[in-house]
Amino acid sequence: MAKKSTTRRVKNPTTDVILHECALAVGQGIAAAGAINVHPAAAEFWQKRYAPFVRVARKALPWKVARTNVLTVANHLGQVAAQKSDGVTITLQNAKDATQAVLNDPACPAGGGRFCQ
């Protein structure tokens, strides 16, 4: 008889859980560019910038449906931020520039992460 999984799956994760998962995806994008630090002001900017969108989006679309697209965009955001940095630290300005670049990238429209290359 197969053992039941002890991992608990959250059907409707909180905004904080979703933001944490997004932060991990941003970190994966950053890591792909090498070992880079994120200045606390940059992390705070992203948190404040995206938390309201997550709160609204959670009501419109289940996380299970949106997850793949959102995490793809988050990963891309990390990669762009790393490219804009000095190779050591992602600053607040790098975070702002990366956010704008991702929003303006026709291959990666906001909310359409499946198109992100």
Q: Which residue has the higher pLDDT, 34 or 116?
A: 34
69-100 tens-digit pLDDT: 889 889 999 999 999 999 999 999 999 999 99
Residue 40 φ/ψ, nearest 5 degrees? -55, -35
pLDDT confidence bin for 108, thresholds 50/70/90: confident
2-57 tens-digit pLDDT: 555 555 555 779 999 999 999 999 999 999 987 689 999 999 999 999 998 888 88
For the chain, what's the residue count? 117
Q: How far apart are CA 77 and CA 29, in angstroms?
A: 7
Q: How confident is the model at residue 29, as a pLDDT?
A: 94
Q: How confident is the model at residue 105, as a pLDDT?
A: 83
pLDDT confidence bin for 103, thresholds 50/70/90: confident
Q: How many CB atoms lie within 10 A of CB 79?
A: 20
Q: What is the pTM of this model?
A: 0.83
Q: For residue 50, give the nearest of 112, 99, 115, 105 by alpha carbon.
A: 99
Please state which of the ranges 54-58, 107-111, 112-116 shows the lowest mean pLDDT: 112-116
